């Protein structure tokens, strides 16, 4: 048994409007909003590294939980935008949080990394102790790479989210999860060293539109829960149109899918946890009520996780 004890997040101060981002690729802000729902995204400073963002979100989570870095049994950092191949940001983030000596694991997975991290942490927390799962991305460094593509440059933002998983108590019990990977489509969304992101948007949207609802539905069916009976859906914030489509496929109103993509854009592996942190502060778990987490990303990797308020 494992629990979600607390969430945390950190967003850079600098807001970049869709008017500014669109100007880099000859797109107007109305087009950007229509194709993605994004009005602003946050960009970190040149000095900030992924590990800095991760540590700030992690510290926010630890402070809210009344814990310190040294209390942790493991740190996981999911990121697809780490500055170097090795070491990844997890070791530096752990050190910055006062968790030196605590094993720190990098999950080099874009978009779905934090979901995979929580699912793994739920299985490991009883053995290792409290596990801090962080999603942190500095996408601004990547979208600046030439040649900038119209369909990519305007989508992404920087930020970090965190979630503390414990074996004893928390705000919600993690009931179960489904994780999937299919490398058949690995070439449809890639990021190579010092190159721009390559994305076959049609394939990504098509696959995500089908796989996310299917994963959620398969998980809910195991527990005889109808989608409309879910309290809230906390999904990777990839694109508002995709969120709306997944809601429609499940037969639930889009309002049940918490969304902050308008403010932050797509922050890849950080987005689901940033959304969870904001949702938790604004609404929060209710006793016995199911909440679904879901994500989809490069690989393709995708899945869903079911939690119930305590």
Is residue 205 involved in binding other proteins (CB under 8 A)?
yes
What gap in Å lies between CA 159 and CA 271, rounded to an integer?
A: 8
Residue 150 in tokens: 């119209």
- Cβ proximity to other proteins, 141 vs 210, nearer residue: 210
Stretch that binds other proteins, among 71-79, 131-139, 203-211, 255-263 (CB under 8 A): 203-211
Cα distance from N-terminal residue to C-terminal residue, the chain: 13
At residue 223, the 3 state secondary structure works out as coil
Q: Which residue has the tokens 């959304």?
A: 275
Is residue 203 involved in binding other proteins (CB under 8 A)?
yes
Residue 145 in tokens: 């790479």
Q: Going by DSSP bridges, is the β-strand pair 104-107/2-10 parallel, antiparallel, or unpaired?
A: unpaired
Length of the chain: 310
Instruction: Give the x/- contact pattern for other proteins in 165-194, rule: CB under 8 A.
Output: -----------------x-x----------
Is residue 28 involved in binding other proteins (CB under 8 A)?
no
Is residue 236 involved in binding other proteins (CB under 8 A)?
no
Distances (CA, A) of 158 to 25, 69, 178, 300, 308: 19, 23, 27, 22, 29
Least distance (Å) from other proteins to the CB of residue 209? 4
- Cβ proximity to other proteins, 95 vs 200, nearer residue: 200
Residue 195 in tokens: 């190159």
- Cβ proximity to other proteins, 245 vs 263, nearer residue: 245
Is residue 217 involved in binding other proteins (CB under 8 A)?
no
- Cβ proximity to other proteins, 77 vs 204, nearer residue: 204
| Angle at CA of residue 112, ends 109 and 116, nearest 5° | 90
Least distance (Å) from other proteins to the CB of residue 123? 26
Among 141, 150, 210, 217, binds other proteins (CB under 8 A): 210
- Cβ proximity to other proteins, 23 vs 184, nearer residue: 184
Residue 152 in tokens: 């990519």
Least distance (Å) from other proteins to the CB of residue 211? 7
- Cβ proximity to other proteins, 28 vs 83, nearer residue: 28
Q: Which residue has the tokens 């149109």?
A: 241
Is residue 221 involved in binding other proteins (CB under 8 A)?
no
According to DSSP, the residues that pair with 6 across neighbouring strands are 164
Among 41, 96, 211, 308, binds other proteins (CB under 8 A): 211
Least distance (Å) from other proteins to the CB of residue 54? 31
What gap in Å lies between CA 177 and CA 218, rounded to an integer?
A: 10
Residues 199-206: contacts with CB under 8 Å, at least 24 apart: 199/149, 199/151, 199/152, 201/151, 204/300, 205/239, 205/242
Least distance (Å) from other proteins to the CB of residue 210? 6
Is residue 201 involved in binding other proteins (CB under 8 A)?
yes
- Cβ proximity to other proteins, 72 vs 238, nearer residue: 238
Cβ neighbour number for residue 31 with a 10 Å cutoff: 14
Binding site for other proteins (CB under 8 A): 182, 184, 200-207, 209-211, 241-242, 245
């Amino acid at each position: 048994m494992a629990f979600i004890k607390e969430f945390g997040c950190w967003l850079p101060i600098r807001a970049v409007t869709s008017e500014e981002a669109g100007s880099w690729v000859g797109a107007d802000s109305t087009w950007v909003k229509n194709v993605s729902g994004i009005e602003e995204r946050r960009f970190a400073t040149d000095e900030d590294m992924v590990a800095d963002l991760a540590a700030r979100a992690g510290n926010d989570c630890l402070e809210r939980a009344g814990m310190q870095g040294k209390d942790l049994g493991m740190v996981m950092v999911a990121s697809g935008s780490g500055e170097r191949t090795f070491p990844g940001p997890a070791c530096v983030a752990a050190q910055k949080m006062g968790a030196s000596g605590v094993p720190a694991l990098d999950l080099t997975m874009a978009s779905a990394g934090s979901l995979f991290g929580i699912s793994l942490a739920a299985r490991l927390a009883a053995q290792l102790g409290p596990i801090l799962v962080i999603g942190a991305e500095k996408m601004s460094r990547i979208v600046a790479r030439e040649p900038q593509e119209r369909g990519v440059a305007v989508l992404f933002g920087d930020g970090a989210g965190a979630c503390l998983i414990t074996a004893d108590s928390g705000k919600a019990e993690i009931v179960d999860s489904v994780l999937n990977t299919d490398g058949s489509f690995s070439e449809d969304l890639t990021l190579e060293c010092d190159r721009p992101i390559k994305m076959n948007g049609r394939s990504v949207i098509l696959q995500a539109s089908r796989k996310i609802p299917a994963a959620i539905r398969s998980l809910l069916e195991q527990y005889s829960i109808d989608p409309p009976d879910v309290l809230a859906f906390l999904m990777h914030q990839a694109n508002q149109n995709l969120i709306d489509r997944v809601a429609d496929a499940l037969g639930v109103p889009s309002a049940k899918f918490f969304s902050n993509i308008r403010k932050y854009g797509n922050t890849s592996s950080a987005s689901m946890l940033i959304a969870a942190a904001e949702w938790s502060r604004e609404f929060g778990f209710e006793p016995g009520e199911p909440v679904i987490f879901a994500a989809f990303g490069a690989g393709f990797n995708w899945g869903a996780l079911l939690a119930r308020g305590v």
